[in-house]
Structure 1
Amino acid sequence: MHNGGMTPRVTRRRALAAAAAAGFGLPAVAEAAPKPSRPRGRFQNLRVATYNVSLHRAEQGALLEDLATGEDPQIRAVAEVIQLNNPDVILLNEFDHDEDGAGIDLFRTKYLEVAQNGKSPVFYPYAFTAPVNTGVPSGHDLDQDGATDGPGDAWGFGEFPGQYGMVILSRHPILAQQARTFQNLRWADMPSNLLPTEFYGSEIAGELRLSSKSHWDVPVRVGSSTVHILASHPTPPSFDGPEKRNQRRNSDEIRLWADYLSPGERSRWIVDDAGEKGGLASREQFVVLGDLNADPFDGDSWPGAIDQLLNHPRVQDTAPRSEGAAEAAEQQGGANADHRGDPRCDTADFSDDPGPGNLRVDYVLPARTFQVVSSAVYWPREGQPGSELTGVDPFPTSDHRLVRVDLQVQS
C-alpha cells in the first residue's frame, strides 16, 4: 500500500506463552491465522483500550535505546498499566515511530512479556504501525517564525519524522492488506473545512495535510466478526494565535471520522493513501480510538468538535469513569473548579493554573451495533493499588490515563 513512499508495518510474534510452550506457532501471514477457539454461546468479550503512553523522546532513536535496556522506569510502569488492564486490542498514542518496527518488538519482548512488579505478562502476536506526519518537513514556514526547518514547520508538529507516532497491538489477527491510512489526505479537500487560508496563503493552504499524525482504519478479525479500529491522534487545540489554526485542525481531524462513518455523499471526498475513495460501509462494525484532544464541555477545543462523534448516529458513548479522576479534580482545584463536565470522565491530568485543568480527551467509541459490557478509566484513587502508576506531575507513566471498553462480539 502506498503511503508517502513507505508502507505500513504489521509484525507477528509467536503465540501466547502456553501455545509457544506447546510448540504451536503463528502463520507468517496474519490473515491466514486460525480463528481463536470459540467460547460457549454466540459471543465473546473483547476489551478495547486506548492509551497515550507519552513514550516520545527529544531525539530520534532515543526511545529505541530506552526500550533496549528493559529497565527504563517509565516504560516499565506503562507496561504494568497495560498488564493490569489486559486489553485484547490497544492503541498506543505518542510512541515514537521507527521504520522497521524494532521499537514495537522491544516493547513487547522486554516489557509487556515480562512480569512487572509481579503482574501477569501480556502477549500481543499482532501489531500495526505506519508513518505519521509529525516531524516530516513541509518546506514551508508554517508557523511564520521566519524559518522553514523547525518542528512547527513539519506537516505535523515534531522534532523528527515519527515523533509522537501510533501503534496498535492485538491478540486477534490484523487484516493488514485491508487497512487504510490517510496520512497524505489534504485539508483543503474537505468540503466546508475550517482551514484558515488567509493565515497560510492559498498556495500553502492547498498543500497542507489534514492529519497531524495520521488516521488509520485497521480491520481486526475477532471470531467470525471483523472490527474496524479507527485510530488517530488529532493536534491539541492550543499553541496557536488568533487565527486558531490548531483549534480548527483538531475539529476537522475529528470530523474526518464523522464523515467516514457517513456513507454516500458526505464521505465521498475522502481518499486514502492508496487512492481508494469513500468511507466505511454502514454494515461494518468499528471502534473509534485515540487521544482526540477535545473535551465535550471544557478546555480550548473548537465549539462542538468532539460532539461530531459523540452525537453521531452510528456511535455510542459509554462515558467511561473513574473515582480517581474526580478526586484529582477536587484536590488540584484551579481551572477544575470551573469545569462543567463530570470530573469522573476526565482522562488526562493537565496543568490547572495556568492551563485547562483535567479533561476528557481520550476515547473508546464503539458502534451502536455492539453490546457494551463495561467501561472504565484507569485512574485509581490516592492510596489504592495502582495509584503509584498514575501519580502526579512528574508522572511515572503519562499525563493521560488508559481508557477501556468491554464489548460483546459475535464469535
Structure 2
Amino acid sequence: MRDLQRGDDPQIAAIQRIIARIGPDVLVLTDFDFDHDLFALHEFARSFEPHYPYSLALKPNAGLQTGLDLDGDGWLGDARDAHGYGRFAGDGGMAILSRFPIREENVTDLSATRWKDVPGATLPQVAGKPFPSAAAQDILRVSSTGHWIVPVAFPDGPALSLLAYSATPPVFDGPEDMNGLRNRDELALWEAVLDGHFGPAPDSFVIVGNANLDPAGGEGFPGAMAAFLQNPMLQDPLPGRDTAGWPQDGPGDLRVSYVLPSVDWTVIDAGVFWPAPDDPERPFIGDDGLAAGAHRLVWIDINR
C-alpha cells in the first residue's frame, strides 16, 4: 500500500504499464501480498483506466503457520514453518481483477486440501521415514499458495470458471525433493478436479497461474506438465513458448506460467508479452528484461 500510494516503485510502475498495454478483461496476479480488507488490491485496481470493478483475493497458505517446526531449526513460526513459504501471513498471495462480475458466492477454495489427500500423491521420505515428520504430513496442505475455482459471469452465455493457482518452485530443498514432489502434486490437484474427484468438473474453464514447471526442461518433473498439457479436456494455445527469463547463470528462459482454456472455447489469439531487444516496446520490460520481474504476462483472447 505504501509503495502504491507513493507511486515511486519502478517495478510496480513497470507492471502497471504492461497490464495497461495488454488491457486484459480478467487478470490473475501471482505473488501479490494479501491483506484482510484488500486495501492494496483495491488501490492497485484503481490505477487502471477503465478500472477493474470486480476483484477477489482469498487468504493464501503462504505464511499460514502450521504450528510445527517444519525446517528442523528448533524454532517455530518462521517462513519455512508455514503451509507455504511466507515471512508473514499473506506473503506472496494471489488476486483476481475482472471487468465482469465474479460470483463470489460460488467460489470453491481447495487451498485447505491436505497433500496426503491428493489422489496419487507422493510425499517425501528420508531413509524410509516421512519427511519432515509424520505429524507434518498429517496436516500439511498441498497448495503452497492456493487453488481456487472462481466463476466469472459474462454478459452472454454461461460463466467461465478460473482455475487459479501459484505453485512452489521445485527447488530450494534437499535429497528428499520435498518442493519438487509438492510442485508436481499441486498440478495433480487440478488433475483430480478435472477427473471429478472433488465433485463435477467445471464445464467451461481456464486453468491459469504460475505452475513453476516447464514441460521440457528445468527442475522438477517436466514430464508431469507435458502429460497434463495433453489432457483432452483442455487446449494449449502457446506450445513451446517461454514465459519467464532469468539470467543465464541461473535457470535461464523457461515456460512456467500457463493460460489453458477448456476445449469448448475458440482461441482467437494468444501470446507472451516479451518484446525483443529491437522492439519499440522493449522499454516496457527494460534493457535487461527484468523491469517488471522475471515473469512475463501471458494472455489469450477467447470466444465461443
TM-score band, normalised by the shorter chain? over 0.9
Q: Which runs of 5+ in 1 are unaligned?
A: 1-63, 113-120, 271-277, 321-341
Which residue is equivalent to 1:290? 209
Q: How many Å apart are 1:297 and its aligned residue?
A: 0.4
Q: How does 1:72-91 map to 2 (within 5 A)?
A: 72-91=9-28
Deviations 1:180-220 (A, max 9, x none): 11121111112321111522222221110110001000000
Structure 2 residue matching 1:91: 3-state secondary structure: strand
Which residue is equivalent to 1:346? 242
Q: How many Å apart are 1:234 and its aligned residue?
A: 0.7
Q: How does 1:49-68 map to 2 (within 5 A)?
A: 64-68=1-5
Give me the TM-score of the superposition, normalised by structure 1: 0.70
Deviations 1:123-148 (A, max 9, x none): 21111110001111112121223322
Partner Cα separation in structure 2 for residue 288 and residue 240 of structure 1: 27
**Pair 1:382 & 2:301 matched:** no
Structure 1 residue matching 2:159: 3-state secondary structure: strand
Which residue is equivalent to 1:20? none
Q: Which runs of 5+ in 2 are unaligned?
A: none
Structure 2 residue matching 1:400: 3-state secondary structure: coil
Q: Which has the larger radius of gyration?
A: 1
Partner Cα separation in structure 1 for residue 258 and residue 119 of structure 2: 25
Q: How does 1:46-125 map to 2 (within 5 A)?
A: 64-109=1-46, 111-112=47-48, 121-125=49-53
Give the partner amino acid of 1:286. F
Q: How many Å apart are 1:308 and its aligned residue?
A: 4.2
Give the partner amino acid of 1:407. I
Task: Report if aligned partners of 1:125, 1:170 keep a CA contact under 8 Å in 2.
Answer: yes
Structure 1 residue matching 2:223: 3-state secondary structure: coil
1 or 2 for the larger relative contact order (CA 8 Å, sep ≥6)? 1
Match of 1:302 among 214, 221, 227: 221
**Pair 1:398 & 2:290 matched:** no
Q: How many Å apart are 1:393 and its aligned residue?
A: 5.1
Which piece of structure 1 moves more, 89-98 or 381-390? 381-390
Partner Cα separation in structure 1 for residue 287 and residue 66 of structure 2: 36
Structure 2 residue matching 1:97: 3-state secondary structure: coil
Which residue is equivalent to 1:171? 99
Q: How many Å apart are 1:71 and its aligned residue?
A: 3.6
The percentage of aligned residue pairs carrying the same residue is 40
Deviations 1:243-288 (A, max 9, x none): 000000000001111110112xxx1xx4xxxxxxx2524xx10000
**Pair 1:239 & 2:158 matched:** no
Two-structure CA RMSD over aligned residues (Å): 1.6
Partner Cα separation in structure 2 for residue 385 and residue 215 of structure 1: 37
Task: Report if aligned partners of 2:245, 2:289 keep a CA contact under 8 Å in 1.
Answer: no
Partner Cα separation in structure 1 for residue 91 and residue 8 of structure 2: 22
Partner Cα separation in structure 2 for residue 194 and residue 394 of structure 1: 37
Give the partner amino acid of 1:123. H
Partner Cα separation in structure 2 for residue 65 and residue 305 of structure 1: 40
Which residue is equivalent to 2:90? 162
Q: How many Å apart are 1:319 and its aligned residue?
A: 1.2
Give the partner amino acid of 2:273. Y
Give me the TM-score of the superposition, normalised by structure 2: 0.94
Q: How does 1:320-339 map to 2 (within 5 A)?
A: none
